[in-house]
Structure 1
Amino acid sequence: MAKPDVRDEAFLREVDDEYRRSQFVGFWQRYGRMLAIGIVVFLVALAAFLFWRQDRARRAGETGERFNLALTQVEAGNFTGASAVFADLAKSGTPGYRALAQLMQAATAVQSGDIPKGLTIYRAISADTAIAKPFRDLATIKATRLEYDTLAPATVIERLKPYSVPGDPWFAVAAEMTGIAELKLNHPDRAAPLFVAIVRDQQSPPSIRNRAAQLAIALGTDPASLIVSRTSTSGLAK
């Protein structure tokens, strides 16, 4: 059997290398410019993203420092200085800090005696759908408490209906205001269950639970006996 000629193998390798080289050159001539532009665009986009992320973190840190400084001013009783910082952050801060700054701006206005200004800010926060729901809910509760005595009971009940449900973060506060509004409308049968629910809710603040218990008893319902009765009935059912 004849052995393959070494010179033929070398020639074939040269032909194959030259063919691959010509393919590469052709590919580069056709797509090289586009590929180079794509790489440059990717690197520029990556650099821009990294810069944006670093700048965002830096600005968030600066905003946090200013916010904490304003809180310190509030604790020191310097409501004027704190209000100026909160007002600025409410316009230029990051979304979360903007909402917090607006809430604090309203709170400092109320603490300094300017209740109409604080109420106006709370209403604006509550109506701003661009703000996260927890902030808007807090603003709604705060505004309702501020103007509670001037609102029609039916308005209070309707406004606080979404929050007067056990399990809602604002249940205790909303249910108490709703229950009192029901009493103003001479609906003790609707108010009593709300007060009992507050007493049963272990997440309710102790002060609100105590007031709710007193109101429930005044309406002829003992929340403690209801809880015991309910527990006993559950045990018998088993």
Structure 2
Amino acid sequence: MSNPESFIDEVTEEVRRDKLFAMFRKYGWIGVVLVLAVVGGAAWTEWQRASAAARAQAFGDALLTALEADTPEARSAALAAVPADGEQVALRDLMLASDPARDRAAALAALDKVANDASLPQVWRDLAVLRRSALQGADIPLADRRAALEPLAQPGRVFRVMASEQLAYLLIEEGQTDAAIASLRALVSDAEAPGGLRNRASQMIVALGGDPAQG
């Protein structure tokens, strides 16, 4: 009896394997498609994230550049010319409506509103904090300015290098020349820092009596 039973078991196992292979040939492509969908979806999400970060950086840089114009009229024209869409339009218009040269208190109030609006993406709140810190200057304690800027200088934040530049200036204000030069040198060699910022850092190092190329 054992031989017939063994033969039956072998045949049954063979049939099962045949059915399994047949099912794989018929439906296996579904698994392949699912894997490709997951991998492709992750790549698409990462690309979107990187594109959004680059777009935010470009918009923020354009706003800050526009705000450095010499006259209120020039600032207004430069701000109005900054390309924007979605949330960017509201932020641009907010800054356009609050020029510190005309009404400093209104400008600070507008920036505070953006900085404290939890419904806005972090990038716009960071931009408002950065601009507010530069505008207030020595009117508020240095420790308060440092506390506001340090979170912006952490890795992964869009305006990290700009906040780091402002923190270096705070070291100069404190009289910590060596520490300031070291911070500025780090910015000169930072691949993420724009050319204008690296040039400013190099010039400041020279002004402080240092050598930008020295490690």
Smaller-chain TM-score bracket: 0.5 to 0.7
Q: Secondary structure at the match of 1:224?
A: coil
Q: Secondary structure at the match of 2:97?
A: helix
In the superposition, the TM-score normalised over structure 2's length comes to 0.54
TM-superposition CA deviations, 1:6-33 (whole Å, max 9, x none)? xxxxxxxxxxxxxxxxxxxxxxxxxxxx
Q: Is the 8 A contact 1:107 1:118 kept in 2?
A: no
Residue 173 (structure 1) aligned with residue 162 (structure 2) = yes
> Which of the residues 131, 138, 141 maps onto 1:152?
141
Amino acid at match of 1:212: A
Which residue is equivalent to 1:215? Answer: 204
Q: Is the 8 A contact 2:181 2:205 kept in 1?
A: yes
Q: Secondary structure at the match of 2:175?
A: coil
**Distance in 1 separating the partners of 2:214 and 2:176:** 22
Alignment CA distance shift 1:185-1:225 (3 Å): closer
Q: Where has structure 1 moved over 6 Å in runs of 4 or more?
A: none
Q: Is the 8 A contact 2:185 2:205 kept in 1?
A: yes
TM-superposition CA deviations, 1:28-82 (whole Å, max 9, x none)? xxxxxxxxxxxxxxxxxxxxxxxxxxxxxxxxxxxxxxxxxxxxxxxx98x7xx9
In the superposition, the TM-score normalised over structure 1's length comes to 0.49
List gaps (5 residues or longer) in structure 1.
1-75, 84-93, 227-238
Specify which structure has the bigger relative contact order, considering alpha-carbon pairs within 8 angstroms and separated by 6 or more residues: 2
**Distance in 2 separating the partners of 1:151 and 1:173:** 19
Alignment CA distance shift 1:190-1:107 (3 Å): farther
**Distance in 2 separating the partners of 1:220 and 1:112:** 33
Tell me which structure has the larger Cα radius of gyration.
Answer: 1
Q: Is the 8 A contact 2:98 2:110 kept in 1?
A: no
**Distance in 2 separating the partners of 1:156 and 1:143:** 9
- Alignment map for 1:86-125 (pairs within 5 Å): 96-97=86-87, 100-110=89-99, 113-125=102-114
Which residue is equivalent to 1:200? Answer: 189
Q: Is the 8 A contact 2:95 2:110 kept in 1?
A: yes
Alignment CA distance shift 1:194-1:167 (3 Å): farther
Percent identity over the alignment is 25
**Distance in 2 separating the partners of 1:166 and 1:200:** 16
Q: Which moved more, 1:124-133 or 1:182-191?
A: 182-191
**Distance in 1 separating the partners of 2:154 and 2:206:** 21
Q: Once the 2 structures are TM-superposed, how far is the Cα of residue 160 of structure 1 from its aligned partner? A: 0.5
Amino acid at match of 1:174: A
Q: Is the 8 A contact 2:123 2:158 kept in 1?
A: no
**Distance in 2 separating the partners of 1:225 and 1:179:** 17
TM-superposition CA deviations, 1:180-223 (whole Å, max 9, x none)? 11111122233122211111113322222112112223444423
Amino acid at match of 1:199: V
**Distance in 1 separating the partners of 2:178 and 2:136:** 25
List gaps (5 residues or longer) in structure 2.
1-72
How many residues matched? Answer: 136
- Alignment map for 1:182-193 (pairs within 5 Å): 182-193=171-182
